[in-house]
Amino acid sequence: MDNPNKAARVEKILHTLEAHYPNPPIPLDHTDTYSLLVAVLLSAQCTDERVNKITPALWALAKTPEAMTRIPVDAIQAVIRPCGLSPKKAKAISALSHILVEKYQGEVPADMAKLEELPGVGHKTASVVMAQAFGVPAFPVDTHIHRLAQRWGLTSGKNVVQTEKDLKRLFPKEKWNTLHLQIIFYGREYCTARGCDGTRCPLCRWCYPNRKKPKQVHKP
């Protein structure tokens, strides 16, 4: 069997992910848009599982932006320390909470540009919030999605920005929000960083049956 062309790979990926994860849940526990925003911020260089263990203690301190503005930064840091990068993240949580209160009446704005202006909120975090909280089509790309997209021959991008552009071009817009989650779950279960090198998982083998050597991935 020759390596399938890109259109065939896109169709196979969509079909496979839909079959495995027809209704993928949001992996970060949250109760509202604010708690989702903070949880996504905390997930940078940290597992979702660990974030979900930490956030209940954070919400015990403060559940709203208004309440969070009254919590000292060092108290926030003490709670979130297991998530890593705690000094930076604690300052960001405090600062963005003040901005939400002062500029947006305590509400998280449903606007990509305004979200990206918040401390500690980059493009990926803003994209997750737009997609999962507001239902606006977005395609958040983290390092694992970037890795899988390269293994499946969907992008040759050397960074997540180019990979996001390529994925948005290849997949229907109405699929972006769900597909983002489906790829995350597939990556965790089948195409892990150490468990697959582009030759082992079912999708990698189907997309590139003639691939004999590990896929060299451009790290973002």
Q: What residues are annotated to the active site? A: 124, 142
Helix (H, G, I), strand (E, B) or coil at 195: coil
CB 183 within 8 A of CB 148: yes
- Dihedral angle computed from the Cα positions of residues 75, 116, 176 and 47, in that order, rounded to the nearest 10 degrees: -30
Helix (H, G, I), strand (E, B) or coil at 152: coil
Work out the number of other CB atoms within 10 angstroms of the CB of residue 119.
16
Nearest one of 61, 27, 12, 48 to 203, comparing CA atoms: 12
Secondary structure of the chain: what % helix, strand, coil (to 5)?
A: 60, 0, 40
CB 140 within 8 A of CB 195: no
CB 80 within 8 A of CB 46: no
